[in-house]
Structure 1
Amino acid sequence: MTQSGIIMDFVHRQRRGAELFLLLLALAVGVGAYAAVGLGMEGEIPVDLVGYGGWLTGLIVAAHVAVRIFAPYADPVLLPLVAALNGLGLAVIHRLDLTYEALDRANHTFAAQQLTWMTLGVVLFIGSLVVLRDHRYLQRYTYTAALAGVVLLILPFIPGIGRAVYGARIWIRIGPLGLQPGEIAKVLLVVAFAGYLVQHRDALALAGRRVLFLDLPRGRDLGPLLIMFGVSMMILVLQRDLGSSLLFFGLFLIMLYVATERAGWLVVGTALFAAGATLAYFLFGHVRSRFDVWLDPLGNYDGRGYQLVEGFFGMAWGGLIGRGFGNGNPERIIFAESDFIIAAIGEELGLTAVMAILLCYGLIVERALRIALISRDGFGKLMAVGLASIFALQVFVVVGGVTGLIPLTGLTTPFLSYGGSSLIANWVIIGFLMRISDQARRPVPQLQVESEDDEHTQVVKLR
């Protein structure tokens, strides 16, 4: 309290000017990479650079203006990081398109489609800021979000609309529109998990039996964990998608640990997933095949290991600084524009670029966790942790698979890889994080109360 009787608290600055400066740097990365692709592949700057750069700039400026108007106290670093990653991803996909066109492949318009999906993603990002003025409103729909998320995960099994692509049944198709419902489900499940854990964390935090200095949870509280374990095993066995299985179960486990602060949940959850994966290895051939390729990729080079080994060769050839755009052969890698875009970047831009990209993802996760720390409500804290965990787990699973650290999965690299469902969902996630951070950083409303026996004005802060 100061001499005048006013309580002084730290107030966050808006920092929109800093965000604008960082966005200019991010646009320089995206537009500069697009120009470098033209110089490396065709020896000249692309003729559509002005149109492409103008469209990309328009999207980013629109997002920035929306933040200024509807979330002025939001985190100033998230949007520039996302813009830089998305711009670089578009340039790398365009580089692959040029090679696919020269090889006369059927589809060589991935970059144009990705820019369309980015446009829709930015529109939904802006829409999330305009419509959702308070993230706590989502807590009312805890069980609705849970039901919708489960329904979306089941949709690929419905005859007529469900589609299996290269063995993984994770797609639906309605007319000309293809969609991965799991990408939308992950956002809904974060809302559901956060709402549920806020309501039940006191009961879940109660300790059960103590084993080796570790308090295990009570048996009666294992129900939610067992349900999520069953859902993740269903995804692994029926959808043949190891990455999504690990993502959803890991997401719930992390949020459960943060809500209860009980390490016993991590031990029980990790043991359950390891036991389930081991059992699936012996019972199901497609799971065993993934592990066999991971353990001996060179021995499976003529079969399922071809994609992984070609990625290894490309990254090894790229070395520290890469071959440069147009001087590598990333087209030899199957799905270089989506699942293996990190390998394509490693080949032509080198380990330096890969490390810079991983640093950007690390900063996104760090900013999201910082938002969770300063959030004033439990629901916002858990939701921010869940959204941060999506990025952390997805990047770990993708990069770990491409580099041979863990078995290969079919997830996309956020904002870099080609894929409309993933790109749109990730832009919405950033919109939610911006809304939570705006609520957390915004100054607390003040109510001035005049006191008859004190000549000073007292300030009551409403929290």
Structure 2
Amino acid sequence: MTLTQRLATRRLEFGLLVCAALIIAVTLVSLNLAQGQALTQEMFWVIGGFLVVFTIAHLALCFTAPHADQVMLPVASVLNGLGLVMVYRLDLAEGTALANRQVMWSLVAVALMVAVLVIIRDHRVLTRYSYVLGLIGLILLALPLVWPASAVNADARIWISIGPFSVQPGEFSKILLLLFFAQLLVTKRALFTVAGYRFLGLEFPRLRDLAPIIGVWGFAILIMAGENDFGPALLLFSTVLGMIYLATGRASWLMIGAFLVALGGTAVYQVSDKIQARFSNFQDPVGNYDTTGYQLSQALFGMSTGGISGTGIGAGHPQLVPVAESDFILAAIGEELGLIGLSAVLVLFAIFVTRGMRTALLTRDSYGKLVASGLSLTIAIQVFVVTAGISALLPMTGLTTPFMSQGGSSLMANYILLGLILRISDAAHRQALSMGTGVGAGAGAAPLAQEVRA
């Protein structure tokens, strides 16, 4: 296939990336005008860096995965770009220079995505190393417990310091653990599908078959207690539980999971002052305004001020929310772009997750199905938990917003995740073309659980 043919194959992606670049450029210009500033060199650095990063990504996909999904990368680029704009906007308000660093992290993250596509030519190769990947994932997840405490977040041991950099290893461990559990579900699916007891019309597994999920639950509880943070553990357990449901189609697993979450959460709540404070803030953030509820209260005030249409980019005060560039970046968007802008961001995430699930349906091998669906599900859960946290629907968990929050760990991990889904998508489309069938032929003929069990 010539270069011209490869470029022509991904015309849709290129067009969407051009639209994404225009959106980001217009938003940045509007921000500077709203702030009464001239067009600065830093602004052109952000725009130029955005164009270079995603031009490289597009060209790399043309050579490494020409048949992969053409919507997911542009969606990720818009989310990444809007995150850059908001970080730059907070830089103007606070006198910091985090946007330049975020551009560099974006370049590194996209490079890692390309590396995944170059190194992993067939996603099924990962099945050979599933136990090794799982072990590495466990080590990374538990590493902050034994590593010298980082000054990034003293009350939650989820960071490690490596020279001048701080890294959150849990962001990478979730991907490795999901790869392991996908293979476990494929090879040990009998453990999860054998009928045991019937209650209220549902089939529950035998007690001895609960060992895998009990093990994951117990490990999640230990990590939650040791790191004094329940966000990563909640994300891991919920995603694994969702993968089991997708593989079996049994709602009883969801009921078991909900019971275990309630039991473990109650136990950890009794011994963790931090989790007690977050639950108290969830119940009445304004009542704790002068102490632990200040951050959430300011976020709610800001979004209330923004209303439906927002205050306008650059016209709000998102800098009043502590660490708005990280945990509360969606609150900053809700204030300045309003409910309309925040809803648009959530729709973009919905498109991303939907395309990932579509890839799972198109893939013929069970392992690819579970990996694509599991990685998509973890994005969906993470966005839901973050959105619920900033709106006081759930207690805050400290999770970051994928592709948007400032920081390198989350950005790199999510682009690695995207690279894996694109690799699986490319394989699925290649197989469909080789068999002479349409891309969507039969894609929705059966539920994912039935296809995995087949």
TM-score (norm 2): 0.91
Corresponding residue number in structure 1 for 2:34: 40
1:461 corresponding residue in structure 2: none
Structure 1 counterpart of 2:71: 77
Aligned: 1:55 with 2:49:
yes
Partner Cα separation in structure 2 for residue 306 and residue 361 of structure 1: 28
Q: CA separation in 2, counterparts of 1:295 and 1:86?
A: 32
Query: 1:398 maps to what in 2?
Result: 386
Distance 1:98 1:284, change over 3 A: same
Name the residue aligned to 2:438: none
Q: Does residue 302 of structure 2 align to residue 347 of structure 1?
A: no
Of residues 259, 282, 292 in structure 2, which corresponds to 1:294? 282
1:250-399 equivalences in 2 (<5 Å): 250-399=238-387
Does the CA contact (< 8 Å) of 2:46 and 2:84 recur in 1?
A: no
Cα distance in 1 between the residues matched to 2:26 and 2:41:
14
Residues 228 and 272 in structure 2, CA contact (< 8 A), matched pair in contact too? no
Deviations for 1:345-386, whole angstroms, at most 9, x for unmatched residues?
111111111000000000011000000001010000000011
Residue 161 of structure 1 deviates from its aligned partner by 5.8
The alignment partner of 2:303 has SS state of helix
The 8 Å contact of residues 46 and 100 in structure 2, kept in 1 or not, is answered as: no
Looking at structure 2, the residues matched to 180 and 376 of structure 1 have their Cα atoms a distance apart, in angstroms, of: 34
**1:160/1:224 CA distance change after superposition, 3 Å:** same
1:82-97 alignment runs, 5 A limit? 82-97=76-91
User: Is 2:165 the counterpart of 1:177?
Assistant: yes
Q: Which residue of 2 aligns with 1:29?
A: 23
Identity of aligned residues (%): 43
CA-to-aligned-CA distance 1:371-416 (integer Å, 9 cap, x gap) = 0001010000000011001100110111100001100111110111
The equivalences for 1:398-437 within 5 A come to 398-437=386-425
**1:323 and 1:215, CA in 2 relative to 1: closer, same or farther beyond 3 A?**
same
1:166 Cα offset (Å): 4.0
Cα distance between partner residues in 1 of 2:151 and 2:197:
45
- Supply the distance in 1 between the matched residues of 2:90 and 2:272 (Cα, whole angstroms): 35
Instruction: Give the whole-Å Cα distance in 1 for the aligned partners of 2:272 and 2:63.
Output: 53
In the alignment, the residues of structure 2 paired with residue 441 and residue 389 of structure 1 have an alpha-carbon distance, to the nearest angstrom, of: 21
| Runs of 4+ that moved beyond 6 A | none
Q: Which residue of structure 2 aligns with residue 141 of structure 1?
A: 129
CA contact (8 A) 2:136 2:173 kept: yes
Structure with bigger helix share is 2
Query: What does residue range 76-225 of structure 1 map to in structure 2 within 5 Å?
Result: 76-101=70-95, 108-160=96-148, 165-225=153-213
- CA offset at residue 275 of structure 1? 1.2
Contact 1:194 / 1:383 at 8 angstroms: preserved in 2? Answer: yes
Conserved 8 A contact 2:49-2:103: no
Distance 1:335 1:278, change over 3 A: same
Whether the 8 Å contact between 1:374 and 1:440 is mirrored in structure 2 is: yes
The answer to whether the 8 Å contact 1:202/1:260 transfers is no
For 1:360 and 1:143, how far apart are their aligned partners in 2?
Answer: 34
CA change 1:238–1:345 in 2 (3 A) is same
Contact 2:142 2:223 in 1 (8 A): no
Long gaps (5+) in structure 2: 1-6, 436-454
- CA shift for structure 1 position 309: 0.5
**Paired positions, count:** 430
Secondary structure of the equivalent of 1:215? strand
Alignment gaps of 5+ in structure 1: 1-12, 102-107, 448-463
CA displacement, residues 8-41 of structure 1 (integer Å, 9 cap, x when unaligned):
xxxxx98511111111111112222222221122
d(CA) in 2 for partners of 1:284 and 1:164?
A: 20
Q: How much has 1:326 moved relative to structure 2?
A: 2.5
- Between 1:267-276 and 1:160-169, the stretch displaced more is 160-169
State TM-score, norm by structure 1.
0.90
The structure-2 alpha-carbon separation of the partners of 1:213 and 1:167, relative to structure 1 and needing over 3 Å to count, comes to same
The question of 1:244 aligning with 2:238 is answered: no
CA distance in 1, matches of 2:29, 2:86: 11
CA contact (8 A) 1:41 1:325 kept: no
Q: Kindly state the Cα deviation for residue 285 of structure 1 after the two structures are TM-superposed.
A: 2.3
**Superposed counterparts of 1:428-447, under 5 Å:** 428-443=416-431
Q: Tell me how far apart the structure 1 counterparts of residues 235 and 425 of structure 2 sit (CA, whole Å).
A: 24
Alpha carbons of 1:444 and 1:222: their partners in 2 closer, same or farther (altered >3 Å)? same
Q: Cα distance, 1:290 vs. partner?
A: 1.3
Residues 173-193 of structure 1 deviation map (CA, whole Å, 9 limit, x = unaligned): 122121000001011011101
**What is the CA–CA distance in structure 2 between the aligned matches of 1:442 and 1:274, rounded to whole Å?**
44
Give the whole-Å Cα distance in 2 for the aligned partners of 1:224 and 1:85: 36
User: 1:257 & 1:165 partners in 2: Cα distance?
Assistant: 34
**Distance (whole Å) between structure 1 residues aligned to residue 407 and residue 311 of structure 2:** 26
Separation of aligned partners in 1, 2:151 and 2:159 = 5
Moved more, 237-246 or 142-151: 237-246
**Contact 2:330–2:342 (CA under 8 A) maintained in structure 1:** yes
Partner Cα separation in structure 1 for residue 46 and residue 320 of structure 2: 27
User: What is the alpha-carbon distance in structure 1 between the residues aligned to residue 393 and residue 8 of structure 2?
Assistant: 41
Give 1:204's aligned amino acid. F
| Letter paired with 2:374 | G
Secondary structure in 2 matching 1:170: coil
Q: Is the 8 A contact 2:224 2:230 kept in 1?
A: yes
Structure 1 residue 59 displacement after superposition: 1.0
Q: Deviation digits for residues 30-79 of structure 1, max 9, x if unmatched?
A: 22222222112233333444443222111111111111111111001001
* Distance in 2, Cα, partners of 1:80 & 1:344: 22
Name which of 14, 25, 33 aligns with 1:20: 14
CA contact (8 A) 1:155 1:162 kept: no
Distance of aligned partners of 1:161 and 1:284 in 2 relative to their CA distance in 1, 3 Å threshold: closer
Structure-2 residue corresponding to 1:8 = none
Partners of 2:8 and 2:202 in 1: CA distance: 44
Quote the Cα distance in structure 1 between the aligned partners of 2:125 and 2:147: 35
Q: CA RMSD in A?
A: 1.8
Measured after TM superposition, the shift of residue 446 of structure 1 is 5.8
